[in-house]
Amino acid sequence: MSSSSNAPLRVVVATGNPHKVDEIAAALRFTGWEFVSTAELGGWDSPEETGTTFEDNARIKAQAAHERFGIASLADDSGLVVDALDGAPGVYSSRYGGEEATDADNNAKLLRELADVSDEDRTARFRSVIVLIGEDGTETVASGACEGVIGREGRGNAGFGYDPLFRPTGTPGRTMAQLSMDEKNAISHRGAALMALREKLVG
């Protein structure tokens, strides 16, 4: 998938979260590519995420955006997989605390669920699956993961979601919310998925 020098390739990112658009644009620095949010194109009704896997949900969103706007679309579905909770919250990460849950609600529920779990058993990973649909409907799928543990209190003001509680294995003593954008992209699940996507596109 490419763009001519005179006409940038516009890619709509199927999310209402501006942080995701920033991360994706920072990681996929292709010359001639322009990443735009659904809001910038007039908004849309986000489809119901009825999939049972991250890939299912990413595809649902990417296809809906592609049909709505008629341009290349990219969607990511990601979440937190906690071993002690048998993989929860998983695909329900964004609504773990309820359909209208805020990040604070989700984090609070996670801490309650893990209250009696020992430090060594609080292992978890963020997983991300990205689906990119080209202007012609061609689909490219990539995934990534970031291993870590769940802390007992939130730390840091950067990032979003479960970032204040998640301490990546690669950054001892710091949570995801205490990392710069470049540090986060270098180790994060979405960063890994974007790197894998980039390799597929240029390879």
Q: Which domains does the chain have, with CATH numbers?
A: 9-202 (3.90.950.10)
| Identity at 167, one-letter amino acid code | R
pLDDT in 10s for each residue of the chain, 203 residues: 544 445 678 999 998 777 778 878 888 878 888 899 998 898 888 899 999 999 999 999 999 999 999 999 999 999 999 999 999 999 999 999 999 999 999 999 999 999 999 999 999 999 999 999 999 999 999 999 999 999 999 999 988 899 999 999 999 999 999 999 888 878 989 889 998 998 998 86
User: Between the CA of residue 38 and those of 1, 66, 132, what are the distances in Å?
Assistant: 21, 11, 15
User: Which of 167, 199, 197 is CA-nearest to residue 184?
Assistant: 167
Q: Is the dihedral of CA 139, 16, 38, 50 positive or negative?
A: positive
Count other C-beta atoms under 10 Å from residue 147's C-beta: 13
Packed helices 189-202 and 18-27: angle between N→C axes, nearest 10 degrees: 50
Neighbours of 44 (CB within 10 A): 17
This prediction has a pTM of 0.83
119 catalytically annotated: no
Report how many helices (DSSP H) and strands (DSSP E) the chain contains, helices first.
5, 6
Catalytic residue among 77, 105, 119, 121: 77
CA 178 to chain centre: 17
Question: Which tokens belong to 55?
Answer: 């890939």
β partners of residue 168: 148
